[in-house]
Amino acid sequence: MPFIPNDQAARILASIVESSDDAIIGTDLDGRILTWNDGATRLYGYPPADVQGASIGLLIPPEGLGEHARVLEQLRTGSRVAPRETTHVARDGSGLEVSVSISAIAGASGHVAGLSFIARDISARKRGEAALRVSDQLWRSVVESAVDGIVVIDARGRIESFNPAAQRLFGYAEGDVIGENVSILMPAPYRQEHDGYLSRYLREGQARIIGIGREVQGQRRDGTVFPLHLSVGDIPGEGERKFTGILHDLSGRVRMEQLAREQAAMARVGEMAAVIAHEVKNPLAGVRGAIQVIGTRLPSGKDAAVVTEIIARIDALSRLMEDLLLFARPPQPKTAPVEIKALVGATAGLLSGDPAFRDVHVEVEGVAVQVDADAGLLKIVFLNLLINAAHAVQGSGTIRVSIAAHDNVCGIVLADSGPGIPSEILDKLFTPFFTTKARGTGLGLPTAKRIIEAHSGTIGIDSPPGGGTRVTIQLPIAR
C-alpha cells in the first residue's frame, strides 16, 4: 500500500516506468498491448502507436509461440512464472537476447486483470560469455597440446592443473597430483625449501625465480631426477594468487652435451695416440731387431732365455701400440660384401690357435647373412669380443654366437657363461682405457664400438638375468 495518496503514487510509478532502461509492457489477459514505455521502444524499435492493441506475440519468434501461450495460461490461472532468458524479435527482424519477467497484475477485486512484461537486453552479456567460452577453449587446447609441461599452483603451492605434457614428463596422472603440494615434483633439498620460497615471495615480493626462469631439477614419480628449465609466472587477477610454471625438459640437451664432451675427449686421445705410436713404434722395432741380433750371438742357455723374454715383452708393447693406433685412427671401412657367419667362424679359428684358449669352444649358429663391410675391421671386432669372452670363462667353456636377419638388420649376439658384468661398471665399458684386467688395455670394446659405428651399426653389452655376458651387434644388411 502506498504511503501517499493514490493519484500521487500512480504518477510516481508512471515516471519510474517511463525512465526505466528496461522494456516495461502492460497487456490485457489475452496479451494485447496496453502500455509500452520508452525502454520498450528503444529495445524493440516500435513506437508506441505501432503496437497499441497488437498482440505481445509480435515480439516472440514462431518457435517460441507455443511456450508463450502456456506461460500466459499459467498466469491467467494465478500461478507465478520464474524469470527466463529467451530470444525476442525486434522490429527489423533481428533477434534479441533478453531476460524476461512476466507477472500478473491484480485488479481492484483481487482477480487477474492484466499482465506485465519486463524485458532486459542481455545480448552484450551473452556475447561476453560466448567470447569467454571461446577464449577458454582456445587456452585449454593450447595448454593441452603444449610440448612443455604447464602446471598451475595456488598461493599455498597446491597443484590446480597439470597438463598432459607435465603428466608425461613426471609420470603422474592429473588425478594423482591435483591438490598436492608442487614440491612433490622436486628432489631434496628443494622439496623441503619450496614452501619457504613461496611464502617469502608472497610476503616480501622478492622474486628468485618468477619472471626469470632457470635450470632446476625435477623428480619423476619413479624417483629419477632430471634437468629442466622452469619459468614461473605470477597470474594477475582478482581473488586468490596463482602461479604458472612452464617446464621444459632438458635431459636431451644434457645428454647431447655429454656426448659432445666425450667426442672431444676421444679426439684428444686420438691425437695423443698417433704421436705415441709414431714416437714409440718405430724405435721399438729397431730395439727388437738389435736384441735379436745380440741373441743370435749368445750361446744357448740362461741368457738366450732372457732375450726371448725381452722380445716377448717388446711384442706385447707393440701390440698395445697397434691397439692404440687402431682405436685412435677413425676407421675408414673399405666395404665389400661379407658373409658374417663365415667371418665369425674364421675368427673363432684364430682364437683356437692360442694355447691359452685351447679349452674354449665357439659355437656359431643361425643364418648366413651378407653385409657391406670391411672384413678386416669386423674381424678385429669379433676377435676382441671372443677374447673378452674367453677371458671371462677363464680359458675353458663355451661361447655361443648366434646370427639372425630381420628387417634389413643383421643381429649378432655373443654370449658367454662367465661371471657377467657388475651393473656399476656397465656404463664405463666403452670408455677408452677402462679395464678390470691386470694386463688389459681397456681398448677392445671402445675400438669395437668405433668400428661398428663406422659401419652404421650399433653395439651393446649387458648381463642377462640368466648370468654371463651378452654382446649384441646390429649391422645394416646389404641390399
Which of these segments, 48-56, 291-299, 336-344, 414-422, binds ligand ADP (CB under 6 A)?
414-422
Strand-by-strand arrangement of the 33-36 sheet: 33-36, 23-27, 112-121, 95-106, 84-89
The partner in contact with residue 475, picked from Mg ion, ligand ADP, none with C-beta cut-offs of 5 to 8 angstroms by kind, is none
Residue 39 binds to ligand ADP (criterion: CB under 6 A): no
DSSP string, 371-412: EEE-HHHHHHHHHHHHHHHHHHTTTEEEEEEEEEEETTEEEE
> What minimum distance in Å lies between the beta carbon of 429 and Mg ion?
10
The partner in contact with residue 392, picked from ligand ADP, Mg ion, none with C-beta cut-offs of 5 to 8 angstroms by kind, is ligand ADP
Residue 390 binds to ligand ADP (criterion: CB under 6 A): no
> What minimum distance in Å lies between the beta carbon of 388 and Mg ion?
4
CA distance 360 to 22: 102
Nearest to 243 by CA among 201, 291, 189: 201
The partner in contact with residue 159, picked from Mg ion, ligand ADP, none with C-beta cut-offs of 5 to 8 angstroms by kind, is none
Helix (H) or strand (E) holding 216: strand 214-219
Among 218, 245, 270, 444, binds ligand ADP (CB under 6 A): 444
Nearest to 416 by CA among 395, 447, 436: 395
Nearest to 347 by CA among 317, 410, 313, 389: 389
Residue 416 binds to ligand ADP (criterion: CB under 6 A): yes
CA distances for 280 relative to 269, 292, 328, 447, 448, angstroms: 16, 18, 15, 20, 24
Residue 347 binds to ligand ADP (criterion: CB under 6 A): no
**Which is nearer to Mg ion, 371 or 390 (by Cβ)?**
390
Going by the DSSP 8-state scheme, the letter that residue 230 receives in this structure is E
Nearest to 204 by CA among 216, 196, 192: 196
**Which is nearer to Mg ion, 238 or 427 (by Cβ)?**
427
Residue 219 binds to ligand ADP (criterion: CB under 6 A): no
Residue 445 binds to ligand ADP (criterion: CB under 6 A): yes
Interface size with ligand ADP, residues (CB under 6 A): 19
Residue 469 binds to ligand ADP (criterion: CB under 6 A): yes
Residue 27 binds to ligand ADP (criterion: CB under 6 A): no
> Residues 112, 79: contact at Cβ < 8 Å?
no
Place of cell 649391422: 475
> What minimum distance in Å lies between the beta carbon of 350 and ligand ADP?
16
Residue ranges in contact with Mg ion by CB under 5 A:
388, 444
> What minimum distance in Å lies between the beta carbon of 181 and ligand ADP?
45
The partner in contact with residue 115, picked from ligand ADP, Mg ion, none with C-beta cut-offs of 5 to 8 angstroms by kind, is none
> What minimum distance in Å lies between the beta carbon of 323 and ligand ADP?
8
CA distances for 84 relative to 61, 89, 99, 124, angstroms: 15, 16, 6, 17
> What minimum distance in Å lies between the beta carbon of 257 and ligand ADP?
25
**Which is nearer to ligand ADP, 74 or 472 (by Cβ)?**
472
Omega prior to 189 cis, within 30 of 0: yes
Which of these segments, 29-37, 50-58, 276-284, 387-395, binds ligand ADP (CB under 6 A)?
387-395
**Which is nearer to Mg ion, 444 or 468 (by Cβ)?**
444
Residue type, 225: V
Among 440, 453, 456, 462, binds ligand ADP (CB under 6 A): 440
> Sign of the CA dihedral 186, 190, 192, 196?
negative
Grid coordinates representing 243 are 602461479
**Which is nearer to ligand ADP, 39 or 420 (by Cβ)?**
420
> Residues 133, 42: contact at Cβ < 8 Å?
no
The partner in contact with residue 442, picked from Mg ion, ligand ADP, none with C-beta cut-offs of 5 to 8 angstroms by kind, is ligand ADP
